[in-house]
Structure 1
Amino acid sequence: MSRHDDIKLLRVNYLRGPNMWTYRPVLEVWLDLGGLEDHPSHLLPGFNERLTTALPALIEHHCGVGERGGFLQRLQEGTWMGHVLEHVVIELLNLAGMPTGFGQTRSTSGRGVYRMVFRARDEQVARCALAEGHALLMAAINADAFDVDAAVTRIRDKVDDCYLGPSTAAIVAAATDRRIPHIRLNEGNLVQLGHGARQRRIWTAETDMTSAIAEGIARDKDLTKSLLKAVGVPVPEGVAVKSPAEAWEAAEDLGLPVVVKPSDGNHGRGVTLDLKKREDVEAAFHVADKEGSEVLVERYIPGNEHRLLVVGGQVVAAARGDEAWIVGDGKHTVRELVDQQINTDPRRGLTEDFPLNRITLGEDPVVLLDLQRQGVTPDSVPEAGQRILIQRNGNVAIDCTAQVHPDVARAVSLAARTIGLDIAGVDLVATDIAKPLAETGGAIVEVNAGPGLLMHLKPAEGMPQPVGQAIIDHLFAEDESGRIPIVGIAASQGGNHISRLVAWLLHLNGRHVGLACSDGLFLGPRRVDRINGGRWDAAHRLLMNRGVDAVVVENSAASVLDHGLAYDRCQVGVVTDMGGLGQLDEHDIRTEDQLFKVLRTQIDVVLSDGAAVLNAAEPRLVEMAELSDGEVLFYALDGSNAALAAHRAKGGRAVFLQGGAAVLAQGASETSGANLDTLLARFARAGLPTDAGTLLAAVATAWALNISPELISAGLDTFVPELAQ
């Protein structure tokens, strides 16, 4: 069969925010099918069979048919390769553990050229999936070999490199459930929750409320223990030692058995338990000495290791550990038995996706020391029936939240408060966590800052706990959303004047305003950058600024097409006109219907307690009113405008011009507001001609923000346009 040339990827653009396709980030790809435009799927011999053999789960794709097998039906009927690539990429993402269900492919005005988009939480992952999907599709078209498993592995590796860790992802997901926006601040797990002055920050399970002093105390286990002991929290007796000989001397003083551990280690590294012999204590000293700056010897507390998560002073989750054993068969070595009897557990693995760690003998000196104490090595062959202890701790993944005794919870909460941590992982040893510590002889052995959440999110046994939700509820009160008022303004002309006026009125209303518009970037009345600020990155800078409690953003149609909106939702969305079509040819936006889909983005994101401000003199903008989740406020120069009058008849708010002044009306009620003629004259004297419609849009926007008519009038009287440069 004849070979087909590769589909050309003409343009690949990541839309970071709400866009003409969807509310969420997508990767937009412009494709040139070339000769394949004449070869839809049903005209390529064997193509459908090769593709579905490579990706059998394509049968689950509903496509536009709306039912299982819908996409396969489209393949059989004949569909073009841009649409096929969309589904191939989505399926590869599904296989790589980054599920997505959204994708669209649409033709452009150029023959064989399509725009294909798919949901993309991370740009680098999306680009990787696109490259692999493109290669797989061309292999299926040309009957070439392709290793799907290897492609999925490469995408999964990119996901592991780029996506949030499971603890951070759980917190972000809980924030999303409460409609709290988030911004990722680095390539790791530093995330901003909320906007501007109402933001909070997390770094995995640490927050901007986590004290640096408390973190320092938690790292020093000896200091932690002395503070806990002072407030009556049970802790094991212990001392710091500087040599193996001192370790044994301390063990004899404390009474055997003992525990030897580093003073500032974590994740259980270097901790050896239940030591009774001098040689074992001295060997354990060397293991601990490599993990921390100081070595501690403590009285051994019998029982299971537990991890309790404290958030805001409350115990919200608890997990119990279990020992790992093997049983000899007289044939296999200890190393082989570990792989056969322990590592075959599907809950064990090397990544954070697994609640239990895979045990690799030789990598953990504590495990090797425990084997030595039992008289075996990794290469020993235990007798049939002989039980060998492999790991005493490190398997804390059995949920026991419901079993925690109130007295235990009080002690653990007190421990976290004593150290000063708002979020803490408290390690406790007890034979039965359902009984008071005084009754079981249990004790708290560590308090950790920045605890991992995976054991509570994905326990090896028991129910997952909503720890992400607990952290979000700790950071934000029930009535808090982390949001500040955001105003988004879409105008082909005069958008900078509307933006400047609205920012001025918000400033007079007592707000610390950030403004991003074509005149530059402003913080309050101060311009901090003269470069065109009507861009995604400029608006994003304002949303990250802790000193800002209101943001005004000018959004051109081109910026929405290039980047999407910088925010997920806004308090007020403004669209003034349907102009600017001739400036969007590079985006293949050539008709009013296409422009409507772009501009509606600004109205689609209005919050339910917000408002859309629309020009009633533009019939297509009147159509947008039904897209707003919040209130609709119309404005027009002519107070008798039919759409405006009908809106008022239903009790809606409207602004119109009468005798040179803006009139603010709701239903039959009318309030005469700002004098626009004098402000128009000031704009003209400054060499910045504008029109009454632009000023009305600003008045309507300010009223939509519930700024009083009196303040609006005073604000327009005091606004001074800058002289044209």
Structure 2
Amino acid sequence: MSRHDDIKLLRINYLRGPNMWTYRPVLETWLDLGGLEEHPSHLIPGFTERLCARLPALVEHHCGVGERGGFLQRLTEGTWMGHVLEHIVIELLNLAGMPTGFGQTRSTSQHGVYRMVFRARDEQVARSALEQGHALLMTTINDEPFDVDAAVATIRDKLDDCYLGPSTAAIVAAATDRRIPHIRLNDGNLVQLGYGGRQRRIWTAETDMTSAIAEGIARDKDLTKDLLKAVGVPVPAGQAVKTAAEAWDVAQDLGLPVVVKPSDGNHGRGVTLDLRHEPDIAAAFELADKEGSEVLVERYIPGMEHRLLVVGGQVVAAARGEEAWITGDGSHTVIELIDLQINTDPRRGLTEDFPLNRINITDDAVVLLDLQRQGLSGDAVPEAGRRVLIQRNGNVAIDCTAQIHPEVAHAVSLAVRTVGLDIAGVDLVTSDIAKPLSETGGAIVEVNAGPGLLMHLKPAEGMPQPVGQAIINHLFSEDENGRIPIVGVTGSRGTAQVSRLVGWLLHLNGRHVGLACGDGLFLGTRRVERKDSATWPAIHRLLMNRAVNAIVAENGAGTILGDGLAYDRCQVGVVTDMGRVAELERHDIQTEDQLFKVLRTQVDVVLSDGAAVLNADEPRLVEMAPLSDGEVLFYALDGANAALAEHRAKEGRGVFLQRGMAVLAQGSTELQGANVDSLCARFKAAGQDISADSVLAAVATAWAIGISPELIAAGLDTFVPELPH
């Protein structure tokens, strides 16, 4: 079989927001099949069999057939390689742990060239999946070897590098369930929830409500303990020490056994428990001294370690730990027994996908010290039947939320309020969390800011807890969604002028407006940049601005095609016309139907309590009305416009021109509003032209967003067009 040349990837573009394909970000790739245009799947001997052997789960892909096995049916009947690549990439993403079900492949006006898109939550992960999928496809076509497992591992590694951590992802998922939008602010876990002035920020499980003072207190375990003791929360007696000798003296004063730990450590590092002898305490001091700025010696509290999560003053989840033991067999070393008896537990692993960590004693000085206290080392061979304690803590992953005694919950909540944190993980030692601490002799040993959520999301035993939802409910009240009014304007004529007028009217209505349009970038009435700002980056900057409580954004067809929309939904979506612009040629938009698909994006994202504003003088725009999830307002130069009249007959709202004045109508009710001719004359006097239909679009938009007809009229009377530079 002669070798087929590689499919060429002509252009790869990440669409970061709603676009002509879907509401979600996608990776769009332009493919040149070359000679493979003449070789669909059924004309390449053995191709379908080889592909299915490499990716057996392709049988689950429904494709356009709409049922299991649909894609295999297309392969057998014959489909082109751009479509095949789409499904390969989707399956590789599924295998790597970023499941996606959306993809499309469409031909272009150039022979053998296709546009292929697939859903992608992260651009770098998507690019990695495309690269591996391309290689898999070509080696399958040419019957060459390919390591699918290695390809999936490569994508998974990129996913681990780029995607949100599990705690942050759980909070973002809960926000999405509440229809709260989010913006990732860095390559890590700093995320904005909501837009503009109604946003909140999280950094893993810390929020912009987390006090820096409280966080500082929580880092200082000795100070934390003093504050908790002062309000009656049970804590272990203890003292800070500077030397190993002082640690032994304090331990004798407190009464053995004791715990030695760093004052500002976390994740249990450097914490050694149940110490009874001077050499062990001296060794534990050295370990703790390496981890923190100060060493604490505390009285040992018998019982199991627990981690309780407190959000907004309420205990929302609890997990219990358990000790890890091995049993000697007289032939295997301690290290070998750990691998055979502990690390074989399928719940243990090296990534955050596992609720329990694999134990590697060479990386854990505390475990080595505990072994030494038992007269063993990693290479020692325990006699048959001997039980050896490997790990006293670090396995907190058994859900016990339902067992918490109300008095325990009260003490934990009081501890967090005393420190001043809004979200905290509280480490508690008790023999039975279902009983008051006064009965068990239990105590709170630490209060931690920025707690991990994984133990509650994926417990090793018990039910997962909705901790992400609890954090979102803490940040946003039931009737909040983090959104501010957004007006999106698209079209080819007068869109910057419409945007400027709407921004002015919103300003008069008491809003601090962010405006991004072809005339520049504006904050309130101040222009901060003069360059064309009808772009994704400029609009994105406004969404991030805490001072902004309303946004007007001009989105040309080129912006929608090149980047997608910067926002996920909007209050009002305006489409002024179906005119062509230069950018369309680059994107191979040749027909009116294709342009319709691009411009409808602005209508598709209108919220259910929002409105689409459409030019009724353009028949294709009238066809967009059913696409709006919210209300529809038409505007037209003539009140007798058929679409407008039909809309009014159904009690719909519309705006039209009558003797130079804008008329705002709903059903049979008509209200004379802004003086359109006067405004057009002022523009002309300033050396600019503005069409009457652009003014009507602005009037209809302002009315749609809730500005009164009286303020619209007065506001347009006071608008002063800029003189040309």
Q: Which TM-score bucket, shorter chain as reference?
A: over 0.9
- Letter in structure 2 aligned against 1:44: I
Question: Does structure 2 retain, via aligned residues, the 8 Å contact 1:575–1:602?
Answer: yes
Q: Which residue does the alignment assign to 1:14?
A: 14
CA distance in 2, matches of 1:582, 1:400: 62
- Letter in structure 2 aligned against 1:650: K
- The alignment status of 1:344 with 2:344, answered yes or no, reads yes
Q: Which residue does the alignment assign to 1:112?
A: 112
- The alignment status of 1:391 with 2:384, answered yes or no, reads no
- The alignment status of 1:170 with 2:166, answered yes or no, reads no
Q: Give the 5 Å matches for 1:42-191.
A: 42-191=42-191
Question: Does structure 1 retain, via aligned residues, the 8 Å contact 2:397–2:459?
Answer: yes
Residue aligned with 1:318, SS: strand
CA distance in 2, matches of 1:228, 1:95: 48
CA distance in 2, matches of 1:352, 1:10: 37
Question: Does structure 2 retain, via aligned residues, the 8 Å contact 1:275–1:281?
Answer: yes
Question: Does structure 2 retain, via aligned residues, the 8 Å contact 1:315–1:409?
Answer: yes
Q: Give the 5 Å matches for 1:476-555.
A: 476-555=476-555
- The alignment status of 1:649 with 2:653, answered yes or no, reads no
Offset at residue 688 of structure 1 (A): 1.1
CA distance in 2, matches of 1:64, 1:88: 15
**Cα deviation code 1:362-407 (max 9, x no counterpart):** 1101000100111111111111111000000000000000000000
- Letter in structure 1 aligned against 2:614: L
- Letter in structure 1 aligned against 2:523: L
Residue aligned with 1:233, SS: coil
Offset at residue 585 of structure 1 (A): 1.0
Q: Which residue does the alignment assign to 2:406?
A: 406
- Letter in structure 2 aligned against 1:331: S
Question: Does structure 2 retain, via aligned residues, the 8 Å contact 1:572–1:610?
Answer: yes
Offset at residue 525 of structure 1 (A): 0.8
Offset at residue 331 of structure 1 (A): 1.1
Offset at residue 724 of structure 1 (A): 2.0
- Letter in structure 2 aligned against 1:42: H
- The alignment status of 1:632 with 2:656, answered yes or no, reads no
Q: Which residue does the alignment assign to 1:362?
A: 362
Question: Does structure 2 retain, via aligned residues, the 8 Å contact 1:581–1:591?
Answer: no
- The alignment status of 1:434 with 2:434, answered yes or no, reads yes
**Cα deviation code 1:108-151 (max 9, x no counterpart):** 01000000000000000000100000011000011111111111
CA distance in 2, matches of 1:706, 1:251: 70
**Cα deviation code 1:201-225 (max 9, x no counterpart):** 0000000000000000000000000
CA distance in 2, matches of 1:278, 1:367: 18
Q: Structure 1 unaligned runs (5+)?
A: none
Residue aligned with 2:446, SS: strand
Q: Give the 5 Å matches for 1:238-637.
A: 238-580=238-580, 583-637=583-637
CA distance in 2, matches of 1:376, 1:585: 75
Residue aligned with 2:247, SS: helix
CA distance in 1, matches of 2:688, 2:471: 51
- Letter in structure 2 aligned against 1:17: G
Residue aligned with 1:362, SS: helix
- Letter in structure 2 aligned against 1:569: R
Question: Does structure 2 retain, via aligned residues, the 8 Å contact 1:334–1:380?
Answer: yes
Aligned sequence identity (%) = 81
Offset at residue 685 of structure 1 (A): 1.0
**Cα deviation code 1:435-456 (max 9, x no counterpart):** 0000110000000000000000
CA distance in 1, matches of 2:695, 2:404: 63
CA distance in 1, matches of 2:709, 2:99: 49
CA RMSD of aligned residues (A): 0.6
CA distance in 2, matches of 1:503, 1:413: 46
- Letter in structure 1 aligned against 2:572: V
When the two structures are superposed, what TM-score results if normalisation uses the length of structure 2? 1.00
CA distance in 1, matches of 2:666, 2:109: 45
Q: Which residue does the alignment assign to 1:38?
A: 38
- Letter in structure 1 aligned against 2:30: W
CA distance in 2, matches of 1:679, 1:621: 26
Q: Structure 2 unaligned runs (5+)?
A: none
CA distance in 1, matches of 2:98, 2:197: 32
Residue aligned with 1:633, SS: strand
**Cα deviation code 1:97-118 (max 9, x no counterpart):** 0100000000001000000000
Matched length: 725
- Letter in structure 2 aligned against 1:590: Q
Question: Does structure 1 retain, via aligned residues, the 8 Å contact 2:634–2:654?
Answer: yes
Q: Which residue does the alignment assign to 1:698?
A: 698
**Cα deviation code 1:489-511 (max 9, x no counterpart):** 01201001000000000000000
Offset at residue 88 of structure 1 (A): 0.5
CA distance in 1, matches of 2:196, 2:690: 31
CA distance in 2, matches of 1:37, 1:617: 43
Question: Does structure 2 retain, via aligned residues, the 8 Å contact 1:581–1:589?
Answer: no
**Cα deviation code 1:39-80 (max 9, x no counterpart):** 000000111111111111111111111111111110000000
Question: Does structure 2 retain, via aligned residues, the 8 Å contact 1:17–1:24?
Answer: yes
Runs of 4 or more consecutive aligned structure 1 residues displaced over 4 Å after TM superposition: none
Question: Does structure 2 retain, via aligned residues, the 8 Å contact 1:607–1:629?
Answer: yes
CA distance in 2, matches of 1:53, 1:552: 52
Question: Does structure 1 retain, via aligned residues, the 8 Å contact 2:238–2:299?
Answer: yes
Q: Which residue does the alignment assign to 1:679?
A: 679
**Cα deviation code 1:511-555 (max 9, x no counterpart):** 000000000100011110111100000000000000000000001
Residue aligned with 1:249, SS: helix
Offset at residue 581 of structure 1 (A): 5.4
* Range that drifts further, 349-358 or 190-199: 349-358
Q: Which residue does the alignment assign to 1:5?
A: 5
Offset at residue 583 of structure 1 (A): 4.5
Offset at residue 563 of structure 1 (A): 0.2
* Range that drifts further, 395-404 or 46-55: 46-55
Q: Which residue does the alignment assign to 1:212?
A: 212
CA distance in 2, matches of 1:559, 1:390: 59
- Letter in structure 1 aligned against 2:672: S
When the two structures are superposed, what TM-score results if normalisation uses the length of structure 1? 1.00
CA distance in 2, matches of 1:320, 1:687: 74
